[in-house]
Chain A
Amino acid sequence: MNRTWRFSLPVAAVTLGLTLPLLATPAQAAGSQTIQLWTHNGGNKQELADVNAVVKAFNASHKQYKVVVKAFPQINYNDAVVAAAASKQLPCLLDSDAPVIPAWAYAGYLAPLNLDPKVVKSINASAKGMWKGKLYSFGMYDAVVGLVTRKSTLAALGLRTPSLAKPWTLAEFNNALAKAKASGKYQYAIDLGTGWDGEWYPYGFSPFLQSFGGDLINRKTYRNADNVLNGGKAVAFGTWFQGLFANGYAPKRTDATMRDNGLVNGSVAFSWNFFNQTQFDALKGDMIVLPPPNLGVKPVVGGGSWQWAMSSSCNAKTGANAFLKFMAQTKYFKMFSDTLSNLPVTAAATKVSKVFGPGTDMNIAAVLSAKYAVIRPPTPAYPVIAKVFEAALKNIINGADVQSELDNAVNQIDQNLQDNHYYGF
């Protein structure tokens, strides 16, 4: 008997000790009003340093609010945010990938922002998260992809250098890929970054679909994908896209080495990807960023990167809004852009940017974004559309029947729209 008790008492005590903290509520910090800020860049030292710099300056300029940063690794960030939203524990301030903002605003998790209309006007459309005519988020930077190659490649293959005024046509693009393959000098004619799962598929490839004249959803009503994602133009896109892999122009799944260094190390002739100054430097004046090809209707690139928003459950909205106001200054737009080599989102910031200013190599990024960027459809259905499109494209890459894959995708999207009463559209 004694032995039993001697054994079980400590066990019970330890167990109790372990379970009690689970039941207790975390203590609230006293003093100046604390504003929690969550960011996705736990794994990105420079970007986190930029966020911290703004927070430090803001905290120094105010007595009544204190912004506290919590950084998550990007891979877990969305999970943390969705879990927090579902349990109504969102922080006041958070960053989010641009295309999901309408879904969040619609679900009631975000509060509209109150910024100086002049500042709002100055921010590029692709860096603003709008829902029902209200601003819910804005980005400190944007991103853009390009068709990247070398001048010497174009010359060796005897290809016309496309200009902004006259981009390549579908036939010219196909010809370029065929010649690159036929030259035998490259492992693949083009790298499309297919090893990046998730958002890259709609971000990187729906511009091709849109260039053909299709789209992910009917943008006039946002009530159907039928006839848009499975119509003749979309099928033409799918068939062409499937051909890129069937013809051996592009790898079905790029490994990280080829994606990040393929162009510089010469394993691919073309790269449909983000590009940066380091690559320009590595190729010593030989690198050239071509405008996206016009595959039928118009050349298109994607737009929209990480953006800042305020939660509706925030109990210090005035302070949170003040922080975002504080952040939306040209010097900070410039800082995020310069230190991260990401596209500035206002004309004023572009002008003073060290990396993207007029006359720089990277200025082409600003030009492409301003001229061709199409944001992903601003509808609460977007997270579903993105997943359905990714699955359909992967099947198409692997040889599935294009028409039936797109039909299935359309039915899944339209079913979701119907189930959600068209998200109020």
Chain B
Amino acid sequence: MATRMSDARRTLNQSVRIERRSATLLAAPAVLLLTVFTVVPILFALTLGFTNAQLLSPQAPQFVGLTNFSRLLGVGEVTLHAQRDPQGHIVTAPNGDVVYERLNTYTSINSKYPNLRGKEEWFRFGENRQAGTVNVVVAGDPLFWQSLRNTLFFALVVVPVQGGLGLLLALLVNERIRGRNFFRTIYFIPTLTSMVVISMLWGFMYQPSGMFNKVLQHVIPGFQPIDWLNDTRTAMPAIIVLSIWQAVGYHMIIWLGGLQTIPGEIYEAARVDGANKWHEIRYVTLPGLRHTFVFVLITITIAALGLFTQINVLTQGGPLGTTSTLVYQSVLHGYQRQEIGYGSAISFVFFFMVLGIALFQRFITRRIDQ
């Protein structure tokens, strides 16, 4: 008896050991590749953020501490005074605006105020027309704050809409209807197409003489064509629409995978209990998709925060910075302007922001996932 027990244990131990060994072996290639091509570059990038490295330069990078970060995140405030004519009256422009002294007096890189050097106007507040003063908040990089806001806005819209739409499509193509494989394929095709190609095609459709304007002109008489990608009000929404169109198929497939893990017996049981279609979705389908929900939420969020390709192809962050994003700005500095140290500082901030958001989402969804 005892011998047989220990025999069994030995066999068990042995199989656990073998399983562990093969698990390690199977994971090794992925771990190796991830380390070499992801972890190490990330560590490099994070370190570069503390140097003044230039992409193509004979000058060796120097450690500059937090300089890049203070340039990126630094803010300050200046009170500007109105220009006055010889009689001491405040000068106004033809449109009635008060004409103020030039901000660059304070913010030029040679100014006598070290903490304002190189800063740019972010926004103004508290204008006092009688006294002729206005407060200007200046930032080392106002485009960073704008990019941050744009990125968060994009994610806030895309995450629920793309996730919800994906679920809707998944529910539709999960029905036993004729030609559902055809619809699944149709919805999934954009995902298989390169984002660059899709951006260019949508770029044509968004042109003033493009398809959207032509269609709208037919539907609405007297419709004035909109330059969708070059109007500060429509550029970001236009990017959002095309982004969702491209990626929704992918999440449809994920949702579909989730749907098909729900056993048919549960639906049958629900129907026996008198559930209607809505009850089925509400009390069987949605609870059955909890794990999928967490996965979809986190992957869309991370993808949305990394918005880059569409911007790079279509708007280059314009008009007036309304479509600039953190990743785009980091590439712009690090690569195009060759200020790789500063670009790395931006990605440093971005990295921890995404990490923070992902951990937060994990925290609030942990109960759902249990």
Contact with A along B203-239 (1 / 0, CB 8 A): 0000111100000000000000001011010000000
Cα-based distance from A56 to B275 in the complex (angstroms):
79
Residue of A nearest to B108 (CB): A411
Centre residue among A398, A414, A415, A418 by max chain B CB count within 10 A:
A398
Residues of B contacting A44 with CB < 8 Å? none
A19 to B57 alpha-carbon distance, docked (Å): 32
Q: State the CA gap A104–B55 with chains docked (Å).
A: 11
B127-135, B300-308, B334-342, B343-351: which lies at the interface: B334-342
A400 within 8 A of B: yes
Bound-state Cα–Cα, A394 to B321, Å = 10
Q: If A19-B33, A384-B337 touch, does A12 touch B26 (CB 8 Å cutoff)? A: yes
Contact among B26, B32, B335 with A11 in the assembled complex (CB-CB below 8 Å):
B26
Q: Which of these binds chain A: B15-23, B40-48, B82-90, B288-296?
A: B15-23
Interface centre among B18, B320, B336 (most CB of A within 10 A): B336
B26 touches A255 (CB 8 A): no
- A107-B56 contact in complex given A12-B25, A197-B316, C-beta closer than 8 Å: yes
**Bound-complex Cα distance A138 to B110 (A):** 38
Collect the chain B residues with CB atoms within 8 Å of residue A384's CB. 337-339
- Asked if A404 and B103 sit within 8 Å, CB to CB, the answer is yes
Interface contact A398-B120, CB-CB below 8 Å: no
Least CB distance, A22 to chain B, in whole angstroms? 9
A106 at the interface (CB under 8 A from B): yes
Query: Of A104, A394, A418, which one neighbours B319 at CB under 8 angstroms?
Result: A394
**Which residues of chain A are near B319, meaning CB under 8 Å?**
252, 394-395, 398
A383 on interface, CB distance cutoff 8 Å: yes
Q: Which residue of B lies closest to A15 (CB)?
A: B29
CA distance A399 to B321 in the complex (A): 12
Of the 9-residue stretches A1-9, A276-284, A321-329, A346-354, which lies at the interface with chain B? A1-9
Contact indicator per residue, chain A 384-425, by CB within 8 Å of chain B (1) or not (0): 100110010011001110011001101110111011110000
Are the CB atoms of A407 and B108 closer together than 8 Å?
yes
What is the size, in residues, of chain A's interface with B at 8 Å between Cβ atoms? 51
Are B337 and A226 in contact, CB atoms less than 8 angstroms apart? no
Main secondary structure of the interface of A (DSSP, over half): helix
Knowing A387-B337, A407-B104, say if A419 contacts B52 (CB, 8 Å): yes
Closest chain B CB from A1 CB (angstroms): 5
Contact check, A252 vs B230: say whether CB atoms are below 8 A apart. yes
Instruction: Tell me the minimal C-beta distance from B214 to chain A in angstroms.
Output: 13
At the interface, yes or no: B107 with Cβ under 8 Å from chain A? yes
Does residue A86 face the partner (Cβ distance < 8 Å to B)?
A: yes
Interface centre among A5, A410, A420 (most CB of B within 10 A): A420
CB distance from B41 to the nearest CB of A (A): 13
CB distance from A99 to the nearest CB of B (A): 14
B121 on interface, CB distance cutoff 8 Å: yes
Which 3 interchain pairs have the tightest Cβ spacing? A15-B29, A407-B104, A107-B56
Q: Which residues of B contact A (CB under 8 A)?
A: 15, 18-19, 22, 25-26, 29, 32-33, 52, 54-59, 102-104, 107-110, 118, 120-121, 207-210, 227, 229-230, 232, 316-321, 332, 335-339
Q: 11 A-B Cβ contacts within 8 A? A: A12-B26, A15-B29, A86-B56, A106-B58, A252-B227, A387-B337, A403-B102, A404-B103, A407-B107, A412-B118, A418-B109
Q: Given known contacts A12-B29, A86-B55, A253-B227, what 12 new A-B pairs fall within 8 Å (CB)?
A: A19-B29, A82-B56, A82-B335, A85-B56, A106-B58, A107-B57, A384-B337, A384-B338, A388-B337, A403-B102, A411-B107, A415-B109
